[in-house]
Amino acid sequence: LTLFVAEIQNQDPTDPTDATEYIDQLSSMAQVAMMEEMSVQANTNAVLMSNIQVMALGNLVGDDIMVQTTALQVSDQTINGRATLDDACTTADLHFTDAAGDDYTVSLIPQGSSSVGPGQVDFSVNPADYGIPPGDYDVSVVTNTGEEEVPIEVSGEVEDVRIPLDGSSPVLNVAGVGEVQFTMISQFGVPDADSDVA
């Protein structure tokens, strides 16, 4: 826009710009000014949306949600969640693996059934029933069909929300899981667990 103004102000008075060209320049100036204004407005809207998002996340503190995760902080509390299988499986095990490599296995096959899936498989695991000590664990699902990176979701209460100083995405501290990006939320509000895996 500055260049357009300078061009008009400094044109040769003995050879003025043709009227048609002058109108074209004015039109171009108006378009550039409008684009600059739209850009500023878009940035303002982005900031407002980000602020609204942060406030909405703050309201989640104390609420139960479900998040997708590959790690858990095991305590003496029951772990409620679900895995999503692509295939029908005759073997589907939920593995808890600690830093030392110790592995604890929980079958996702409901009692009285010989297979599970495809689709969501709910679980409710009491760590004491499987001898799983409190601590940090990686969690994964291993099936007889060889599915890789089976999505695992667990429920937990949002304890706090942290806003990184570098402007990156807000981080939620979820009980039993730890810190997770808000983009890992898979469900707001968690119904009472109803599963045969215990």
More confident residue, 197 or 3: 3
* DSSP state letters, the chain: -HHHHHHHHTS-TTSPPPHHHHHHHHHHHHHHHHHHHHHHHHHHHHHHHHHHHHHHHHTTTT-EEEEE-SEEEE-SS-EEEEEEESS-BS-EEEEEE-TT--EEEEE-SPTT-S-B-SEEEEEEE-GGGGT--SEEEEEEEEETT---S--EEEEEEEEEEE--TTS---EEEETTTEEEEGGGEEEES-PPP--S--
What average pLDDT score do residues 94-112 get? 96
Q: What integer pLDDT is reported at residue 47 of this predicted model?
A: 62
pTM metric for this prediction: 0.70
Q: Chain-wide mean pLDDT for the chain? A: 86
What average pLDDT score do residues 170-188 get? 93
pLDDT in tens, 67-79: 999 999 999 999 9
